[in-house]
A and B are shown apart, each in its own frame.
Chain A
Amino acid sequence: MRVNADTNTSSTAAPSLPSSTEIALKVNGEKRVLRIAPWTTLLDALREYLDLTGTKKGCDHGQCGACTVLLDGKRVNSCLTLAIMKDGSEVTTIEGLAHDGELDPLQQAFIDHDAFQCGYCTAGQICSAVGLIRECHAKTPDDIRELMSGNICRCGAYLNIVAAIEEVIGKKRGVAA
């Protein structure tokens, strides 16, 4: 996906590529300016251009959810999002969830509930869960399972993931009541 700058390849004629474009994103509260090609996905922009490697590349086809970030407040698959189309947008990644050294309640709940094994899907799971809670459509554990179905966990930590999310929803409801 990246423009290959490696000159040691056997091809001689360099393909003519459309010039890269400058875009600005507000990433985790900070304005970042970067030059990208039209085909650079938001996922690659975050990982390769901004060194925010917390967001993971799993399937790269929108099937696993490992790349989930919050774009203008909504959870999306960053692997299917072209960065050039999101000039001026706000992006929150796993690196931007903690505030003043304190973990987001979902991050803490994932630790308390042991809601991961290898951890590769976790950043996507947590960003997705932040989006799910904001959307306010999950009322029961079954709703959580259904509305988290876009995040696959190869280790099968689903039971604990649902428990972690349920706890945070319950606490928020308690505060609101």
Chain B
Amino acid sequence: MNSFSYTRAPDVASALRVITAEPTAKFIAGGTNLVDLMKENVERPTRLVDITHLPLAGIQRTKEGRLRIGALATNADVAYNELVERDYPLLSRAILRGASAQLRNMASVGGNLMQRTRCSYFYDTATPCNKRTPGAGCSAMEGINRYHAILGTSEHCIATNPSDMSVALLALDAVILVVGSSGERTIPIAEFHRLPGETPQIDTNLKANEMITAVELPPRGFSGHYEYLKVRDRTSYAFALVSVAAALEMKDGQIGEARLALGGVAHKPWRRKEAEELLNGKPAAKDNFQKAAEALLQGAKGFGHNDFKIELAKRAVVRTLTQAAGSER
């Protein structure tokens, strides 16, 4: 790990001041991803700004009936929160499919949104990586790419976003609340993470001098019919090969509204309105699920080792929708 300086931020304004004055500084909360990347020499901040003393850990209902989750709430705080368990069980389930109990006790919601890819070439500073060093080339493209993206890739990067939480947040239409030196703004989760394109070094649309303060969920949590399926190389404590978040509003055996998102397949959690529209107002039947799966995976492209993920993802979608549509929880 390179040497760095440390600042404990007493309030949001001073945290923003430090990060604005020193662009090579980084915020730290749970540290589970950042400290690891610093040990690997992938992240080399000159200063860490400790934001864990800011009052951003609460989880509460807003006047409008939305759920506001503070950026510093730990993954465990959220997953086991009684409001989340009751009204947004899809989110609870997705979070509990990620990491280990220890890491969930440490990792924050904001940090989960900001975590970087686990592409092994991104981690290995001895190999070229466009995300680490723009223009260096992508080692995964013709390397070992079993875990890599099949959707939304570019010729510069085929890394995936590793978050489970973000897949559920996308299905639930979450909004990210951020603050910067020029004030507050909100970013819909669908626009928070970005595709690699020409600039794979940029993971999100958060600006360099902005901080995530909270995540907000709309009142509707799809607590009746939902499922989060995570397919991975071992049963627990592994990143997704493919994950599926499905949430359905059921009316008389028909699907009123469907939400469908994929993890482990792209540089961002993947959702396509066209796939959901194929389900809305239709019976919960396998051929409809199959059509939605085809639409969601449209344009998918493998890179050798990960070719199987295209068919795997389709089957996982059908299975997840079948389970979600099944028993009322």
Interface set of A (CB-CB < 8 Å, partner B) = 1, 15, 17-18, 21, 37-39, 41, 60-62, 65, 68, 74-77, 80-82, 84-85, 128, 131-132, 135, 137, 145-151
Contact = CB atoms under 8 A, between A and B. Distances in A.
Contacts of B38: 39
B6 A38 contact: yes
Interface stretch (B100-108, B245-253, B304-312): B100-108
Contact of A85 (B4, B31, B105, B236): B31
Interface string B279-315: 0000000000000000000000000000000000000
Contact of B105 (A15, A17, A60, A75): A75
Contacts of A137: 80
Contact of A39 (B3, B36, B76, B101): B3
Contact of A62 (B8, B103, B236): B103
B102 A68 contact: yes
Contacts of B76: 74, 135
A17 B4 CA distance: 8
B87 interface: no
A90 B237 CA distance: 27
Interface size band for B = 20 to 34
A1 B38 CA distance: 11
A149 B31 CA distance: 20
A80 B3 contact: no
Nearest to B53: A85
Given A132-B101, A150-B99, A85 B36 contact: no
Interface string B36-51: 1011000000001010
B35 interface: yes
A18 B31 contact: no
